[in-house]
Amino acid sequence: MLVENPLNAVDAQVLKRGKWEQVFRERRENGLPYGKTTGKKWDSIGGVCGPIGQEPDHLHKLPGSFEALYQLSRLGPTLLRRAIQDGAVHPGLNETTAREVAQQYNPKLKRRPRQFNTRRFLAKTQAGLGLLLASKRLAPI
pLDDT in tens, 103-125: 999 999 988 888 889 999 999 99
Residue 32 domain-assigned (yes or no)? no
Domain containing 69 equals 58-138
Residue 31 domain-assigned (yes or no)? no
Residue 90 has pLDDT above 70, yes or no: yes
Count up the domains in the chain and report the number: 1
Residue 48 domain-assigned (yes or no)? no
Residue 6 domain-assigned (yes or no)? no
9: confidence class by pLDDT, cuts 50, 70, 90? very low
Residue 80 domain-assigned (yes or no)? yes
Residue 141 has pLDDT above 60, yes or no: no
Would you tell me how many other CB atoms lie within 10 Å of the CB of residue 31? 13
The answer, as to whether pTM is greater than 0.85, is no
Would you tell me how many other CB atoms lie within 10 Å of the CB of residue 95? 15
Mean pLDDT of the chain: 82
The predicted structure's pLDDT at residue 131? 85
